[in-house]
Amino acid sequence: MAGLPPGDITLSRAYDLKGDPYSHLRSDLYPMPKSEGVWVVAACFNEQEVIMRFVERVLAVPGVDQLVLIDDGSSDATVERIRAWIQDHAGSPVTLLELTRNFGKEAAMLAGLDHVNGRCGAAVLIDSDLQHPPELIEQMVRQWRAGAEVVTAVRDDQDQESRLKVASAHWFYRVFNKVVDSIELQEGAGDYRLLDAAVLDAVTQLRESSRFSKGLLPWTGYSSVELPYQRVSRQGGQTSWSPLKLFGYAFDGIFSFSVLPLKMWTGIGVLVSSLSLFYALVIILRTALFGVDVEGYASLMVAVLFIGGIQLIGIGVLGEYVGRIYVEAKSRPHYFIRRVHKS
């Protein structure tokens, strides 16, 4: 294709399965042979300082056949460095999917999973910031070849985090597992997992817009083997996950898997209505016995503001679910790919 470096493929359509559940398997979109090996999938966002070290460490792991990188709209030199490396290493098993903009980590991971689905025997999801040690992949592959359907890396180094972060994470898992009946999240388990081909195919069929992979993977019902690991600090760059984003992501997980918040506000409404009815009966009885008693302005305002606040919170919870219905109804693609870079 004129104007593009060797190995580049320009794509003019979105990679999404809502219209065609098998579009990601068509050879006209992905002219790559099917493999029964292990493919590693990693999303990248502004990782220019560590991305080449990550590539070299992953490719050095025995049992890794292909590495698929997904650039999620990086604003630094991440894409340029990966492209230069691919051009300098002809025949390397590295592919770069360059998204048109920053769609978010969940969408980027989905793009990678769509790409490898149907081409590998197993796929490994891993972060590209080197906080997930690539060397653990060898043990994952060993467990998979022994029959495991999912191999989940579980952190056992929470003592290295701040007390506030550890406490907030603990309470999130505790609340999530209380309000969600269909699945149970393993504390310390993240996105670092190996998925068998059957699991990979199942996960890519789940196309909701508000994705929470930590819940979607166990929801499929496949058995999982856990591997403990020590997560290291970032070796370059800065995380894009602020406390506010983490807080929002946690709420996304709860609202995506449970309608308990709606049921809770139904109960709160019944409780407040019952208390109001009881208080009304008290006022009627007191008026009948002692005559009209003019209440103070302060107590009236407290009651009005309390009930008004309850109503606003309830409307907010309802709006959260309505907003999700609105987003799902639009059925927009999760991502668009500008180019596929391959040697």
**267-309 tens-digit pLDDT:** 777 777 777 777 777 777 777 777 665 566 556 766 777 777 7
Report percent pLDDT > 70 for the chain.
79
Instruction: Name 151's bridge partners.
Output: 194, 225
Tokens linked to 102: 């920053």
- Which pLDDT does position 292 carry in this prediction? 62
pLDDT of 315 > 70? The answer is: yes
pLDDT of 197 > 90? The answer is: yes
Mean pLDDT along residues 248-261 = 73
Return d(Cα 314, Cα 311) in angstroms, integer: 5
pLDDT of 4 > 60? The answer is: no
Burial of 310 (0-12, 13-18, 19+ CB in 10 A): middle
- Which residue has better confidence, 177 or 123? 123
pLDDT band at residue 105 using 50, 70 and 90 as cut-offs = very high
- Give the number of other Cβ atoms within 10 Å of residue 180's Cβ: 18
For helices 105-116 and 197-204, the axis angle rounded to 10 degrees is 130
Mean pLDDT along residues 323-337 = 89
Tokens linked to 242: 């602020």
Mean pLDDT along residues 227-236 = 78
Q: Phi then psi for 8, rounded to 5 degrees?
A: -85, 140
Burial of 119 (0-12, 13-18, 19+ CB in 10 A): buried
State the Rg of the chain over Cα. 25
Mean pLDDT along residues 307-323 = 81
Residues 6+ apart with CB under 8 A from 250: 172, 176
Return d(Cα 83, Cα 76) in angstroms, integer: 13
- Which pLDDT does position 241 carry in this prediction? 60
Mean pLDDT along residues 227-253 = 71
Three-state DSSP state, 94: strand
Three-state DSSP state, 222: coil
pLDDT of 6 > 70? The answer is: no
Which pairing describes strands 122-125 and 337-342: parallel, antiparallel, or unpaired?
A: unpaired
- Which residue has better confidence, 88 or 173? 88
- Which residue has better confidence, 322 or 288? 322
Instruction: Name 70's bridge partners.
Output: 43, 97
Q: Determine the Cα angle at 176 with ends 167 and 307, to 5°.
A: 95
Which range among 15-19, 75-79, 215-219, 223-227 shows the weakest confidence by mean pLDDT? 15-19
Mean pLDDT along residues 103-111 = 94
Q: Determine the Cα angle at 218 with ends 55 and 330, to 5°.
A: 85
pLDDT band at residue 14 using 50, 70 and 90 as cut-offs = very low
Return d(Cα 343, Cα 341) in angstroms, integer: 7
- Which pLDDT does position 293 carry in this prediction? 59
Tokens linked to 37: 């090996």
pLDDT of 172 > 80? The answer is: no
pLDDT, averaged across the chain: 81
Q: Determine the Cα angle at 86 with ends 151 and 118, to 5°.
A: 40
- Which residue has better confidence, 158 or 203? 203
pLDDT of 118 > 60? The answer is: yes
Mean pLDDT along residues 63-74 = 96
pLDDT of 63 > 80? The answer is: yes
pLDDT of 35 > 60? The answer is: no
- Which pLDDT does position 161 carry in this prediction? 61
Mean pLDDT along residues 118-137 = 94
pLDDT of 17 > 50? The answer is: no
Three-state DSSP state, 110: helix
pLDDT of 72 > 50? The answer is: yes
- Which pLDDT does position 83 carry in this prediction? 96
Return d(Cα 233, Cα 230) in angstroms, integer: 10
Instruction: Name 171's bridge partners.
Output: none
- Which pLDDT does position 337 carry in this prediction? 97
Tokens linked to 165: 């972060």
- Which pLDDT does position 296 carry in this prediction? 63
